[in-house]
Amino acid sequence: MKFAEIGLSDELLRAIDESGYDEATPIQAGVIPSVLMMRDIIGIAQTGTGKTASFVLPMIDILAHGRARARMPRSLILAPTRELAAQVAENFEKYGKYHKLSMALLIGGVQMGDQVKALEKGVDVLIATPGRLMDLFERGKILLTGCNLLVIDEADRMLDMGFIPDIENICTKLPANRQTLLFSATMPAPIKRLADKFLSNPKTVEVARPASRNENIEQFLVKTSERGKRDTLRSLIESEKVHTAIIFCNRKTTVRELAKVLQRSGYSAGEIQGDMDQSSRTAELDRFKNGTINILVASDVAARGLDVKGVSHVFNFDAPWHPDDYVHRIGRTGRAGAQGRAFTLVTSSDDEAIDSIQKLTGYKIPVHGVEAAAAETAAAAPSEAEEKPRRARSERGGRGRGASKPDKVAAQPVDEPKAAPAKAPRPRNDRKSAATPKPAPAPRRDDQDGPDDGWNGPMPGFLSVGFGS
């Protein structure tokens, strides 16, 4: 459907056209007419479907008539993160440039003084994170009695972050006859209860099954190990000829360390994570958007709501802890009809997380074959990784066994008592003098179970037999 057919004003259509858009996405075509008719809305759509514009565009036309009063915003948009709130504000600036609407952004990490001044002048649109909004409300700096339009964006993320009680509290402070729009990628039971409680006869617009596969994104699993992750990632970046990429990590410390490693390797990389102040986060995002850097290492604060054009690749350096986060992470690429590629580095400890992701999306993610030597080594099965160090120690400790006979030992477990070492092995020295080229690096591949060199007694024969081999 063309935007010109939806019923938007000429000024708004002009701004949309100058932004390079002509055709409305399914969520926009389904939501905008109903919002203009003042209906409550439940919008269920994947990230990257144009969901933000589906409420920003009709809000601009609705708010074009009326006048803002001091400390009494006319509309309120709640977003779970600072980045998403800033993204919504950018949309209002882009599409509302031919309307004289005032806007204020209430987010943490920024001085309250300027935010309070904006509120005192009166704003048509207030975009806020729940925490900062409640803080200013309790200080008496804002009144919500004149707010007739409420948008709850990324409701499922609000749930994950523990904001639902705050949202319920905020809803009780708003006029009962307001218009409410709720958007979410999924509709778990707590979100359904929230909608039933605070929305009046809402129209539900669902453009895709929650968490279903985005056909524009090619997804792959890449087998590796904890020690081999960095080498595997570098191999992928080189082989994929990455244009613009976001790399997601589960921990803030990993973000910092990985960004430094990539920079030392000659990549134009930056970082964004929760320990950075808001000005630093904004500056880093701007560097990424304008092309100063082409790789952004991020924690999940960046997974939701960021709309950066031209992201060709997403790499999950760590498999996400929650399957919903996977959908949102890879949704940074393949946006607005473009093609994208997403790679998830997985170790033996990620099996459960990957199973949960595949159950949620209904899609079995294929394993990517990387020919780089580092990736081949990392792709060894977990059981084999445990077997090799034990075999190497047993073979080197025996009198009559050479390093050239590991397969024979493994193939004939009945002879194992004969293979017991006659003297205590010396792990530290043997590692230095080992003649076998392939098993040599294996003993130190995974050290989650503690160091191997704490044993100084005879090696039991059964340890040289791999389980499941």
Last-in-domain residue among 360, 378, 396: 378
On whether residue 299 sits in a domain, the answer given is yes
Query: If you write DSSP's letter for every residue of 34-91 in order, what string do you get?
Result: HHHTT--EEEE--TTSSHHHHHHHHHHHHHTSS--BTTB-SEEEE-SSHHHHHHHHHH
Residue 469 located in a structural domain: no
Q: Let me know whether 289 and 157 are in one domain.
A: no
- Is the residue at 211 inside a domain? no
- Residue 421: predicted pLDDT: 45
Parallel, antiparallel, or unpaired for β 179-184 and 41-44? parallel
Closest residue by Cα to residue 106 from 83, 126, 80, 120 = 126
With respect to residue 230, please indicate whether it lies within any of the assigned structural domains. Answer: yes
User: How confident is the prediction along the chain (469 residues), in pLDDT tens digits per residue?
Assistant: 899 999 999 999 999 999 888 899 999 999 999 999 999 999 998 766 789 999 999 999 999 988 888 889 999 999 998 888 988 999 999 999 999 899 999 988 777 888 888 899 899 999 999 999 999 999 999 999 999 999 999 998 898 888 999 999 999 999 999 999 999 988 889 999 999 999 999 999 998 654 566 788 999 999 999 999 999 999 999 999 898 999 999 999 999 999 999 999 999 999 998 788 878 888 898 899 899 999 999 988 755 556 787 899 999 999 998 887 888 889 888 876 788 999 999 999 999 999 999 988 888 999 987 444 444 444 444 444 444 444 444 444 444 444 444 443 344 444 444 444 444 444 444 444 444 444 444 444 443 444 444 444 555 555 555 554 4
> Are 195 and 311 in the same domain?
no
Question: Distance between CA atoms of 431 and 427, rounded to whole angstroms?
Answer: 6
One domain, residues 163 and 306? no
Supply the angle between the helices 82-95 and 278-289 in degrees, to the nearest 10: 50
* Residue 254 parent element (H or E): helix 252-264
* 0.75 surpassed by pTM: no
pLDDT of 208 reads: 65
Q: Are residues 415 and 368 in the same domain?
A: no
Pair of tokens at residue 210: 């929650």
Domain carrying residue 370? 217-378
> How confident is the model at residue 461, as a pLDDT?
57
Same domain, 199 and 91: yes
CB 432 within 8 A of CB 396: no
- The last residue of one of the domains, among 323, 357, 378, is 378
In this predicted structure, what is the pLDDT of residue 250? 92
Shared domain for 193 and 238, answered yes or no, is no
147 located within any domain:
yes
Residue 450's SS3 state is coil
Taking a C-beta distance cutoff of 8 angstroms, is the pair 398, 391 a contact?
no
Which residues neighbour 426 within 8 Å (Cβ) at sequence distance 6 or greater?
Answer: none
Pair 314, 273 in one domain: yes
CA distances from 246 to 3, 111, 308 (A): 31, 29, 10
Residue 79: inside a domain: yes
- CATH number, domain with residue 364: 3.40.50.300
37 and 186, same domain (yes or no): yes
- Of 408, 350, 425, which Cα lies nearest the Cα of 382? 350
Answer yes or no: do 357 and 421 share one domain.
Answer: no
Asked whether residue 212 is domain-assigned, the answer is: no
Burial state string for 410-429 with b = 16 or more CB within 10 A and e = fewer than 16: eeeeeebeebbbeeebebee
Contact 427, 397 (CB under 8 A): no
Output the CA angle 357-154-202, nearest 5 degrees: 115
Q: Are residues 104 and 229 in the same domain?
A: no
Same domain, yes or no: 253 and 372: yes
The count of structural domains within the chain is: 3
Same structural domain, 456 and 398? yes
Q: What is the pLDDT of residue 66?
A: 85
Domain end, chosen from 185, 206, 227, is at 206
